[in-house]
Structure 1
Amino acid sequence: MFFWRQEIGPGRWVAFTNSEAGNLALHVGDQPASVLRRRRRLEAAMGVNEGSLRFMHQTHSATAEIVEDAVPGELISADALISVRGATPLAVMVADCVPVILSTGGGAGGATAVVHAGRQGTLDGVIAATVELLRSRKAQDLLAWIGPAVCGDCYEVPAAMRREVAAVVPAASATTRWGTPGLDLPRAVRAQLEALGVAVQQVSAESSALCTLENGALYSHRRSPAAGRMAGLVWTQ
């Protein structure tokens, strides 16, 4: 069910699911009842209350929202969710875009966040918007985990698109292994986090394991347009 998970402080966990958890998205043509069953099974594996895991309606934007400020049970339209107290379990769904988890250091207390960093969100500054909002709520000593996403060796784009993104985030510029223009969004996200003074933690020593297109145990929209969605997670027990 989990590609990777780690306890980062007493009772605080970060994790990324794989295809064994099944599709967790309601917007890819799957049966809603089946998706909700998988979400409940995931919550049980996480050890959190049923129905407590917060998802968002992801729009490829730079919008970050705080869950404590939202109406309880409301589906938030955003590409980053923040829990100021870190008490609300958070999820971000991906199938090639970059999932990012953020947490204050030093144990189970403090803020947490999840970020959906696709090409447009990375270009528009969703990482900076999230970090700035966290810091405006007194979150300190931020740590980040970058989950599985399509790698720069595999993400082919038109040359004009590469120039557009690289003009804003130079680290995004890449060349595919077959020699065509590409984008390396995980590298771009890492560069943005490090420029903001956020410490990026290692998820896997094998970089190829993190590429959704190359790793058959992960969902990839580029490999299959009908792919499901996996999740990046942060929660406190």
Structure 2
Amino acid sequence: MGNVIDLGRGLRAAVTERSGGVSAPPYDSLNLGLGTGDDREAVLANRETAARNLGFEVERVVWMNQVHSADVLVATEPGSVGTCDGVVTTRSDLVLASMAADCLPVLAADAASGVLGAAHSGRLGTAAGVAANLVESMVAQGADTDRITVFLGPAICGKCYEVPEHVRDETARNTPEAACVTRRGTAGVDMLAAVTAQLRRAGVTDITADGRCTLESPELFSHRRDAPTGRFASFLWRA
């Protein structure tokens, strides 16, 4: 199901895992993604189960319609915030969610100002700088980069994320840290290294990471390993 992570100063994060839900294969079993082809009622039941087990009401969650963009929206109420890959809120009662199955979830918070942010940084979003846009949007809502804490969820690692050379080069055009070599000696993309570099350039220094590779971790959904498959969620909220 996943464990609650104490980020300090009243902040909580959690990354869900595959088990504990009702979805049938190939989405088995705690699939939280509505756009996967899974049964809608099963996904909604899974969302209810995940929220309850993590200690908050599912009605508090803000969900993004993720499209691999660098767009960030401000959420003023729970439910769907719209089409974007980053969301920011100043409301203390909302829970932010980022869905993934190889892409990198980004959870960010400034506890002093009460500004929370979440992003979904896939290859295209990483190339476009969605994490930096998230920080910029948080600052616009009253956050201070010196106080922002970031937790990076699981994602496919650079040793596993093999891409054509031109795709690697396109991804690394603005963030050289994205370019890497896979364990097979081929061109790869390291989203964790790239997003960490983008956040540091944006002025954020308090960064921690889950560290798991989705492709190598059977308890997590991985699109590259298992497509079609489900989605796990990384949640951020104030206790």
Alignment TM-score, normalising by the size of structure 1? 0.90
**Which residue identity does 2:218 align to in structure 1?**
G
Question: Could you say which residue in structure 2 is the equivalent of 1:229?
Answer: 231
Stretches of structure 1 lacking an aligned partner (at least 5 in a row): none
- 1:190 and 2:190 matched: no
User: Partner of 1:139 in structure 2?
Assistant: 143
Counterpart check, 1:16 vs 2:15: yes
What amino acid sits opposite 2:17 in the alignment?
N
Deviation at 1:167, TM superposition (A): 1.9
Show the counterpart of 1:129. Answer: 133
**Deviation (angstroms), 1:50:** 3.6
Deviations 1:151-181 (A, max 9, x none): 0000001111111122211000010101110
Alpha carbons 2:60, 2:93 under 8 Å: kept: no
Q: Is the 8 A contact 2:95 2:235 kept in 1?
A: yes
Identity %: 37
Tell me, what secondary structure is at the counterpart of 2:34? coil
2:9/2:111 contact within 8 Å kept: no
Distance 1:54 1:6 in 2: 19
Q: Structure 2: which 5+ residue stretches go unaligned?
A: 21-29
- What does residue 35 of structure 1 align with? 43
Deviation at 1:10, TM superposition (A): 5.0
SS in 1 for 2:225: coil
In structure 2, give the amino acid aligned to 1:119. Answer: R
- Residue 177 of structure 2 contacts residue 194 of structure 2 at CA under 8 Å; is this kept in 1? yes
Match of 2:5 in 1: 6
Per-residue CA deviation, residues 173-210 of structure 1 (Å, 9 max, x unaligned), is: 01010111000011100111111121343344xx4xx1
Distance (whole Å) between structure 1 residues aligned to residue 157 and residue 43 of structure 2: 27
Letter of the structure 2 residue corresponding to residue 81 of structure 1:
V
Residue 236 of structure 2 aligns with an amino acid whose one-letter code is V
| Equivalence map 1:58-97=2 (5 Å) | 58-68=66-76, 73-97=79-103
- CA distance in structure 2 between the aligned counterparts of 1:176 and 1:53, rounded to whole angstroms: 36
* Contact 1:193–1:200, Cα closer than 8 Å, also in 2: no
Distance apart, 1:28 and its partner CA: 0.8
- Asked if the contact 1:146/1:200 (under 8 Å) is kept, the reply is no
- Does structure 2 conserve the Cα–Cα contact (< 8 Å) formed by 1:82 and 1:113? yes
